Structure 1
Amino acid sequence: MKNVSPHIITEGKKQYHLGELKVNEIIYDFDMMLAYLNTKGKLLFGEKFKIIEEDREIIFKLCNYFIKDEANCKRLDIDINKGILLSGPVGCGKTSLMKLLRYTVPHQKPYKMIPARNIVFGFNHIGYKTIEDYGDGQYFCFDDLGVEPIGRHYGKDCNVMGEILLSRYDLFLENKIKTHATTNLNAQELEERYGNRVRSRMRQLFNLVAFDKESGDKRK
């Protein structure tokens, strides 16, 4: 049954309104979304979790993307049909944000968060079936893209995530299946890691949303 109030989210005994329903359209309120993300973040990651002021701009971009606010996304140069590549320094909060933002849009198809290194470990164990497993219609967010080891199965090396990104690109073209990812690497480092062909596909597959390179490590 279709959720007629996806902007009202229940956590325990409390309801969080992320906006208002007006003439069959949800008008989201960013401050309400932030309040919910703070609460959900504490539930998921512990009481020390908090959204800091310097991250408001990047979270604003991501929230507009996930709620598919076309006017704001156009202004922010974000294509709502592409996935998100969230980049930034180690510990700036990329993974936590991508885990959190799924909960703001319970009416949308969810994506699974998968560490890239785990995919390579799977390839090393069972081989090319691992790559095939990520070539279907599921939505994924590949976490820590670019720092995973090279895959090796029966003595043959394989750039596993590079191959998977090519498969995901084909899925995107054929069926508009989205892929998301987080990475610590910049564009040049990604090209060095995966080659020009994959990097070119990534430009079409992802919106790049980047933390400031001076963003501090929130895990300290």
Structure 2
Amino acid sequence: MDYPHIITEGNTTYRLGELKGNQVLYSFEKMLKYLEAKGKLMFGDNFKIYEEDHGLLLQLCNYMIRDYDSCKKYGLDPNKGLLLSGPVGCGKTSLMRLLKFLVPYQRPYTVIPSRNLVFGFNHIGYKTISDYGDGQYFCFDDLGVEPLGKHFGKDCNVMGEILLSRYELFVNHQVRTHCTTNLNAKELEERYGKRVRSRMRQMFNLVAFDHNSKDKRK
């Protein structure tokens, strides 16, 4: 029998909670311990979970394990995607790469830099937009700082078009999309327009680091 709250990394087993009947009662402290250990495996021994981020991580962990009661308390909808915002270097990308490992039996998402999709569009054109508008789960990293796309002399706001395709997937097939961004709501609207911004409000839970969060890469 598979137990979603028991995860093995190498020779170490992490028990993220306790089984009570047919429910798992997760422990936030144990999830933090696992995330830090997994982070060191993925990113090196200097990786650490900062205490200042615990409040935000509590929201993200409850979202990932689909704790509906806790999500409701934080104004999160587990059926929407995440839009994780914050200043450069605060740890958005690392967390999104890490968090999916908390729930090994849920369908995983792939983290892709937004600029890579624009480079793909510049090379092969509109097939890139259709490829990323399919039913796979993605996290688009660094949304809003990618360049404008250009293919055979035609400009295209590639990520704006992909987000519109992902909106259709969300509405018709409940496929979630995640993003990280350094931009605020006003900047996102300036970058993608009111139509895309309106769709984003429906697609995403906004979870934000404090704007004074330090650059952890220094």
Fold conserved between structures, TM > 0.5: yes
- Code of the residue aligned with 1:11 in structure 2: it is E
Aligned counterparts, 1:135-154, within 5 A:
135-154=133-152
Measured in 2, the distance between the counterparts of 1:158 and 1:52 equals 39
- Code of the residue aligned with 1:38 in structure 2: it is E
Q: 2:213 aligns with which of 202, 212, 215?
A: 215
Indicate the residue corresponding to 1:37 in structure 2: 35
- Code of the residue aligned with 1:94 in structure 2: it is K
1:30-84 deviation per Cα after TM superposition (whole angstroms, max 9, x unaligned): 0000000010000000000000110000000000000000100000000010000
Measured in 2, the distance between the counterparts of 1:147 and 1:37 equals 28
SS at match of 1:144: strand
Measured in 2, the distance between the counterparts of 1:137 and 1:39 equals 31
- Code of the residue aligned with 2:81 in structure 1: it is G
Indicate the residue corresponding to 1:91 in structure 2: 89
- Code of the residue aligned with 1:190 in structure 2: it is L
Measured in 2, the distance between the counterparts of 1:147 and 1:175 equals 28
Indicate the residue corresponding to 2:171 in structure 1: 173
1:75-126 deviation per Cα after TM superposition (whole angstroms, max 9, x unaligned): 0000010000000000000000000001000010000000000000000000
Indicate the residue corresponding to 2:104 in structure 1: 106
Runs of 4+ aligned residues of structure 1 deviating over 6 Å after TM superposition are none
Structure 1, unaligned runs of 5 or more: none
Q: Deviation at 1:4?
A: 2.5
Q: Deviation at 1:205?
A: 0.5
- Code of the residue aligned with 1:20 in structure 2: it is E
Alignment pair present for 1:50 and 2:58: no
Indicate the residue corresponding to 1:5 in structure 2: 3
Indicate the residue corresponding to 1:23 in structure 2: 21
Measured in 2, the distance between the counterparts of 1:90 and 1:135 equals 27
Percent identical:
70
Measured in 1, the distance between the counterparts of 2:105 and 2:177 equals 18
Q: Deviation at 1:135?
A: 1.3
- Code of the residue aligned with 1:55 in structure 2: it is D
Measured in 1, the distance between the counterparts of 2:73 and 2:102 equals 21
Aligned counterparts, 1:118-157, within 5 A:
118-157=116-155
CA RMSD for the aligned pairs? Answer: 0.6
Indicate the residue corresponding to 1:77 in structure 2: 75
Q: Deviation at 1:138?
A: 0.2
Q: TM-score, normalised by structure 1?
A: 0.98
Measured in 2, the distance between the counterparts of 1:217 and 1:14 equals 31
